[in-house]
């Protein structure tokens, strides 16, 4: 087994040289996780907004379920998606198992509750401020949702970021439904797990470095946007 120093040195060489395998794995990871984040936002944000502005019997139970689903175990999500997409499953005819699409589906299911629950809290706080004005203006429910989503856009970026972070860092769901197939469904986390088990710490570390840089970069970008927005009193 390589020692930590030589593994780190090799990892940096791989990163700096733009190793083709590394680039492919990183590219697929970003494609899958960004797609899942976009889908989760498309579903979770309006859902969170609707729950935020609605009062109905059983709302408390809905909130408990939404919050509980934030802690969905990735392997359970992976197993459920696997059962649905496997050849004998109800969606087996689609032939999606062991494809990036299956990984996107699994990650979307995993992070939609996170986006919905966190956005619900953000939008409920904002709605408390706007509600009376909205009623005075006779806005429809959909107009209120649209206005809340737009006015909370910078806070919701952080919600999206939390979803992306969860998606890009998870391994349990994508390894079950993707299968970690080289050049097809291998993403950063599954590759790190595989290379570590094989003893190839250089590639595992290189991928870990890239994962950290992505996390830092996205956080810095969102923080910059929020600071700009705060200066303009848009937060």
Partner 1 sequence: MSDAVSLPRSAAALPETDAPLLPLRVRGLTLGFGDETVIDGLDLDLGPSGCTMVMGPNGSGKSLLLKLLHGLIRPSGGHIDWGGQAGDVTRRQALVFQAPVLLRRSVAANLDFVLRARGKDRRRRVDLLEHVGLSHKAAQPARLLSGGEAQRLALARALATDPEVLFLDEPTASLDPASVLAIEHIVSEARARGVRIVFVTHDVGQARRMADDVVFLHRGRVAEHAPAGDFFPVPQCQAARDYLDGRIVV
Task: List residues binding partner 1 (CB under 8 A).
Answer: 129-130, 132-133, 135-139, 143, 147, 150-152, 232-235
Rounded to the nearest whole angstrom, what is the least distance from the CB of residue 54 to partner 1 in the complex?
A: 18
- Rounded to an integer, what distance in angstroms lies between the CA atom of residue 154 and that of residue 230? 9
Rounded to the nearest whole angstrom, what is the least distance from the CB of residue 160 to partner 1 in the complex?
A: 18
Q: Which is nearer to partner 1, 147 or 174 (CB)?
A: 147
Q: Which is nearer to partner 1, 127 or 166 (CB)?
A: 127
- Rounded to an integer, what distance in angstroms lies between the CA atom of residue 25 and that of residue 10? 17
Q: Which is nearer to partner 1, 136 or 197 (CB)?
A: 136
Which value, in Å, is the radius of gyration of the alpha carbons in the chain? Answer: 20
- 195: tokens are 């290379």
Q: What letter would DSSP give residue 170?
A: -
**Residue in the structure block whose two tokens are 């303009």:** 232
Q: Which is nearer to partner 1, 85 or 159 (CB)?
A: 159
Residue 68, SS3 per DSSP: helix
Q: Which is nearer to partner 1, 133 or 223 (CB)?
A: 133
Residue 118's contacts (CB-CB under 8 Å, 6 or more residues apart) are 48, 70, 159, 162
Rounded to the nearest whole angstrom, what is the least distance from the CB of residue 56 to partner 1 in the complex?
A: 18
Q: Phi and psi for 158 in degrees, rounded to 5?
A: -65, -35
CA–centroid distance for 6 within its chain = 33
Rounded to the nearest whole angstrom, what is the least distance from the CB of residue 108 to partner 1 in the complex?
A: 29
- Rounded to an integer, what distance in angstroms lies between the CA atom of residue 35 and that of residue 28? 10
Rounded to the nearest whole angstrom, what is the least distance from the CB of residue 145 to partner 1 in the complex?
A: 12
């Amino acid at each position: 087994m390589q020692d930590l120093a030589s593994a780190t040195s090799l990892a940096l060489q791989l990163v700096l040289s733009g190793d083709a395998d590394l680039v492919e794995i990183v590219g697929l990871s970003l494609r899958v996780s960004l797609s899942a984040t976009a889908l989760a936002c498309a579903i979770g944000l309006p859902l969170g907004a609707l729950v935020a502005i609605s009062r109905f019997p059983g709302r408390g139970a809905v909130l408990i379920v939404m919050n509980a689903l934030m802690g969905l175990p990735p392997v359970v999500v992976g197993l459920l998606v696997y059962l649905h997409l496997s050849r004998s499953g109800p969606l087996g005819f689609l032939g999606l198992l062991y494809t990036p699409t299956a990984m996107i589906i699994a990650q979307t299911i995993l992070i939609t509750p996170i986006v919905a629950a966190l956005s619900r809290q953000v939008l409920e706080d904002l709605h408390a401020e706007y509600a009376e004005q909205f009623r005075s203006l006779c806005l429809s429910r959909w107009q209120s949702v649209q206005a809340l989503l737009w006015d909370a856009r910078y806070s919701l970026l952080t919600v999206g970021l939390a979803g992306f972070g969860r998606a890009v860092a998870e391994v349990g769901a994508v390894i079950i439904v993707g299968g970690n197939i080289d050049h097809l469904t291998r993403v950063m986390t599954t590759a790190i797990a595989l290379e570590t088990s094989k003893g190839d710490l250089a590639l595992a570390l290189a991928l870990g470095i890239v994962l950290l840089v992505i996390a830092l970069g996205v956080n810095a970008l969102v923080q910059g946007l929020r600071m700009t927005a705060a200066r303009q009193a848009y937060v």
